[in-house]
Amino acid sequence: MGRIWAIITHYVVDGSKSRIILNVLVTPAEVMDNQPMLDLLWRTRFRWKLWPRQVTGDRKYGTEDNLVAIEDQGIRAYIPLPDLDHCTEFLSADQFRYEAVRDVYMCPAGKELRFDRPHSTERSRRYRAGAQDCNHCPLKAQCTTSKQGRSLCRSVDEACLDRVRAYQSTEAYKRALRKRQVWVEPLFAEAKDWHGMRRFRLRRLWRVNSEALMIAAGQNLKRLLKKRGWGRRPFPAEAVFRLFLTLCGWLTDLSLKYRSLSLVFGSDDLMSTKTCISSSLMSFTKDFFNRLKDCTT
């Protein structure tokens, strides 16, 4: 069997009803979804001179680095945070109360979890309860199995993360996630079913990215034609201009012929002059309609 190359396609889509695809990136499957998010966002802002009010994404993009970077730019991050507290059967971190003035956590049993400096890092602060308090606590079976006491980690950007968590209860946050399911996800289904994104034709990553850009451009053109109308076409300005130049040339030829006729037949015989001019006009009219017929056909 040949080697199977798995890839992931990322779309940056305008949040309006037009659903214009602003940026596309194809990455290998081993690259996590959250890693190229900030690069896509900054490049889209720079390329299209945009300043979005909010950014919406699914849970895979909700890492701490992404959320903090987005919020620092004054953009609301409508992205769900991964729920790591309810992965076990023990008491979750949201059941512990943090007191900012004393810089301690209070457990459900009323015991304090104090700052543990030796086990802290630059990006997170660890808080630990006393081993004696935890070993004699009636809630220990629901809290921890450690003999050293229950511990919690608090990010240095926890205030920013709390602000993002507060968005989840707002109607704007819920509406943004509903819009994403209806407006963004169908674009991937359309590209896979109708434009060949389920299996790319080209090989090598840069060629696959070029093919993905062409597919996204085709999707944008479809929405442009839908807005302007499939039956209406722009005015053929180039064809009309070419016809105008042709007419000017024919009129110039006629004026030169008329002038030559006046010089040649410039006698007192008025009847012969009128006859020659009328015959020239008839031949020009016949020639004009023949050339016009050739142009239209």
Residue 67 and residue 200 in one domain: yes
- For residue 289, what are the CA distances in angstroms to 244, 283, 284? 14, 10, 9
Residue 286 and residue 172 in one domain: no
How far apart are alpha carbons 112 and 98 in whole angstroms? 10
Residue 215 and residue 259 in one domain: no
Helix, strand, coil percentages in the chain from 3-state DSSP, rounded to 5: 50, 15, 35
How far apart are alpha carbons 211 and 213 in whole angstroms? 5
- Asked, for residue 187, whether it belongs to a domain, the answer is yes
Q: Identify the pLDDT of residue 160.
A: 94
Q: Identify the pLDDT of residue 194.
A: 93
Residue 37 and residue 57 in contact, taking contact as beta carbons nearer than 8 Å: yes
Residue 16 and residue 76 in one domain: yes
Written as tens digits, the pLDDT of the chain (297 aa) is 445 578 899 999 998 888 899 999 999 999 999 999 999 999 999 999 999 999 999 999 999 999 999 999 999 999 998 876 667 788 888 889 999 899 999 999 999 999 988 878 888 899 999 888 888 888 888 888 888 889 888 999 999 999 999 999 999 999 999 999 888 889 999 999 999 898 888 889 999 999 999 999 999 999 888 887 765 556 566 666 677 677 767 666 656 554 443 333 333 443 343 444 455 555 656 666 666 556 555
Record the tokens describing residue 245, joined without a space: 């130049």
- Asked, for residue 125, whether it belongs to a domain, the answer is yes
Q: Identify the pLDDT of residue 266.
A: 37
- Looking at the structure of the chain, the number of domains it has is 3
Q: Identify the pLDDT of residue 257.
A: 57
Q: Give the angle subtended at the CA of 148 by the CAs of 143 and 153, to the nearest 5°.
A: 65
Residue 98 and residue 125 in contact, taking contact as beta carbons nearer than 8 Å: no
Residue 148 and residue 176 in one domain: no
Q: Identify the pLDDT of residue 36.
A: 95
- Asked, for residue 139, whether it belongs to a domain, the answer is yes
Q: Identify the pLDDT of residue 6.
A: 85
Domain range for residue 144? 93-157
CATH of the domain at 17: 3.30.420
Residue 269 and residue 126 in one domain: no
Q: Which candidate, 292, 214, 283, 224, places its Cα nearest to that of 254?
A: 283
How far apart are alpha carbons 226 and 258 in whole angstroms? 53
Residue 18 and residue 149 in one domain: no
Residue 74 and residue 16 in one domain: yes
Rg (CA), the chain: 37
Residue 71 and residue 103 in one domain: no
On whether the pTM is more than 0.75, the answer is: no
Record the tokens describing residue 70, joined without a space: 């987005």
User: What is the identity of the amino acid at 231?
Assistant: G
How far apart are alpha carbons 202 and 295 in whole angstroms? 42
